[in-house]
C-alpha cells in the first residue's frame, strides 16, 4: 500500500506540473495578446490622428489633397508609429454648388501589417452658411421684439417670377405666435403668397449670425456709410456690403447683387432725387437686418431674393425692431437671388467647409509574404494600390 501511495503522489505531482506549465503558457499568451492589442490600438489611433493633422493642413492649403494622392502619400511618424496618408478627391463638375467628395485613407504600420482608417468628407464652398430662401420676407425675431407696418403701394410677393424656374413661396415666413404682428398694413399695400404668412417652427436666425460674423472680418467686405456713390456688385461678381451707420444710396446706383447687411442701429435710406434713374433701384440677393431697429424702406426700391430680419442671441430687445414698409417698395421672392448671395459669400471668404460624413476603422491588411516588421509603411501599402 505504501508503494501505491508513492505512485499516486507521483501522479499528482506530474499533474500539478502540467497545470502549472499550462497556466504559465496561458499567462504568456494573455500577456502577448494584451501587447498585440495595445500595439494595434496605437496604430489605429495614429491613423485617426493623421487624418486630423491632414484636415489642419487642408484648412491652410486647399490644394493639399491634390498633392497627396496614391502616388505621393503623406508620410509621418505619430507616437512612434509610421503612417502614410493619401487622398482621393472626387469633384462634382455637373453642379457648381453641389459638394465635392474627399476620401482620406490613413494607413498605420502594425508589425508587418497595415491598419487603415478611411474618412469621407464633403467639401462645400463657404456659401453653405447662406440661409435657404423661404419667402420674400423672413422675420426670425421673437414676437415681442418687433413691430410691423406697411402702407402706400408697398408689396411683399412670394410668387415666383415668370420664367425664373423658382417655386412659389409664402409672402412672409415667421415664428409661430408672430402672425398677429403683421395685421398692420393699409392703403394699397398687399402681401401675396401661398400662404401669405407662414409660421414655421423650424425657422431660425442661426446660422445666419455665424455667416455675418465671418463676412464682417473679410477684407473683401465693403462698408458703406454717408452718401454712397460706389457700386453694389454685378451679376458676374456679386459683392458683400455692410451698413453699420446711416447710409444713403445716391449718385447713379440703379442695381446691386449679392449680400447687403444692415447691423445694429444701421439705417439704409434710399433717396429718389439723387439717383440717375429715379425709382428703379433693385437689389438682387440677400438683404439682412441684424438687430437693426430702423428698417425704414421708403421710396421705390425693389429687392429680388429675400429679406431676412433677425436678432442675435445676446440682443437685449430693449429697442424693438421696427419694420416699416411704405412708398412703393417691392419685396419679391426670387430663388435666383440665392445664387447671387452664395457667389458673394464664396468670393468674400475664400475658404471651403468640410463636413465629415463617415469613418471606418479596424481594417487590417496583411502584408505579402516577403514583408516583415522591418518593412517601411510605404512598402507595406504597395499591396493596397
User: Per residue in 5-64, pLDDT tens?
Assistant: 555 555 554 454 545 545 555 555 445 567 688 889 999 999 999 999 999 999 888 889
Write down the pLDDT at residue 280. Answer: 59
pLDDT class of 277 with cuts at 50, 70, 90: very low
pLDDT band of 96, cuts 50, 70, 90: low
Res 278: pLDDT: 32
More confident: 280 or 194: 194
Query: Higher pLDDT residue, 365 or 28?
Result: 365
Domain ranges of the chain: 2-108+361-384, 134-334
Continuous segment of H or E residues that includes residue 226: strand 226-228
Who has greater pLDDT, 152 or 249?
Answer: 152
Each residue's pLDDT tens digit, 291-326: 866 665 556 788 999 999 988 877 766 678 888 887
C-alpha dist (Å) from residue 281 to 76, 131, 275, 306 = 58, 24, 9, 16
Proportion of the chain above pLDDT 70, given as a percent: 78
Q: How confident is the model at residue 380 (pLDDT cuts 50, 70, 90)?
A: confident
Alpha-carbon distance of 365 to 113, in angstroms, equals 6
Which residues have CB under 8 Å from 147's CB, separation 6+? 181, 184, 320, 321, 322, 323
Element at 299 (helix H, strand E): none
pTM beyond 0.75: no
Amino acid at each position: 500500500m505504501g508503494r501505491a501511495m508513492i505512485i499516486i503522489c507521483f501522479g499528482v505531482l506530474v499533474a500539478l506540473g502540467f497545470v502549472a506549465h499550462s497556466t504559465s503558457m496561458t499567462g504568456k499568451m494573455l500577456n502577448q495578446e494584451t501587447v498585440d492589442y495595445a500595439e494595434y490600438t496605437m496604430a489605429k489611433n495614429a491613423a485617426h490622428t493623421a487624418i486630423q493633422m491632414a484636415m489642419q493642413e487642408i484648412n491652410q492649403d486647399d490644394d493639399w489633397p491634390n498633392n497627396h494622392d496614391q502616388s505621393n502619400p503623406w508620410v509621418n511618424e505619430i507616437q512612434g508609429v509610421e503612417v502614410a496618408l493619401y487622398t482621393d478627391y472626387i469633384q462634382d463638375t455637373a453642379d457648381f454648388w453641389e459638394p465635392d467628395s474627399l476620401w482620406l485613407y490613413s494607413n498605420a504600420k502594425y508589425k508587418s501589417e497595415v491598419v487603415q482608417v478611411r474618412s469621407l468628407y464633403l467639401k462645400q464652398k463657404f456659401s453653405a452658411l447662406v440661409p435657404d430662401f423661404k419667402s420674400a420676407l423672413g422675420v426670425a425675431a421673437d414676437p415681442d421684439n418687433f413691430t410691423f407696418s406697411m402702407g402706400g403701394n408697398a408689396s411683399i410677393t412670394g410668387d415666383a417670377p415668370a420664367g425664373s424656374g423658382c417655386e412659389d413661396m409664402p409672402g412672409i415666413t415667421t415664428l409661430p405666435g408672430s402672425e398677429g404682428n403683421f395685421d398692420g398694413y393699409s392703403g394699397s399695400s398687399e402681401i401675396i403668397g401661398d400662404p401669405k404668412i407662414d409660421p414655421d417652427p423650424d425657422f431660425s436666425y442661426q446660422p445666419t449670425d455665424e455667416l455675418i460674423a465671418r463676412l464682417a472680418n473679410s477684407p473683401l467686405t465693403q462698408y458703406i456709410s454717408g452718401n454712397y456713390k460706389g457700386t453694389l456688385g454685378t451679376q458676374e461678381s456679386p459683392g458683400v456690403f455692410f451698413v453699420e451707420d446711416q447710409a444713403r444710396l445716391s449718385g447713379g446706383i440703379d442695381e446691386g447683387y449679392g449680400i447687403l447687411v444692415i447691423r445694429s442701429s444701421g439705417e439704409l435710406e434710399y433717396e429718389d432725387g439723387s439717383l440717375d434713374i429715379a425709382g428703379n433701384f433693385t437689389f438682387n440677393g440677400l438683404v439682412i437686418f441684424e438687430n437693426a431697429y430702423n428698417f425704414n424702406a421708403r421710396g421705390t426700391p425693389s429687392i429680388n431674393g429675400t429679406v431676412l430680419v433677425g436678432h442675435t442671441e445676446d440682443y437685449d430687445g430693449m429697442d424693438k425692431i421696427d419694420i416699416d414698409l411704405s412708398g412703393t417698395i417691392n419685396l419679391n421672392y426670387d430663388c435666383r437671388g440665392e445664387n447671387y448671395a452664395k457667389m458673394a459669400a464664396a468670393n468674400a471668404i475664400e475658404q471651403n467647409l468640410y463636413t465629415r460624413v463617415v469613418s471606418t476603422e479596424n481594417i487590417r491588411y496583411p502584408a505579402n509574404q516577403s514583408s516583415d516588421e522591418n518593412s517601411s509603411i510605404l512598402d507595406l501599402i504597395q499591396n493596397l494600390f
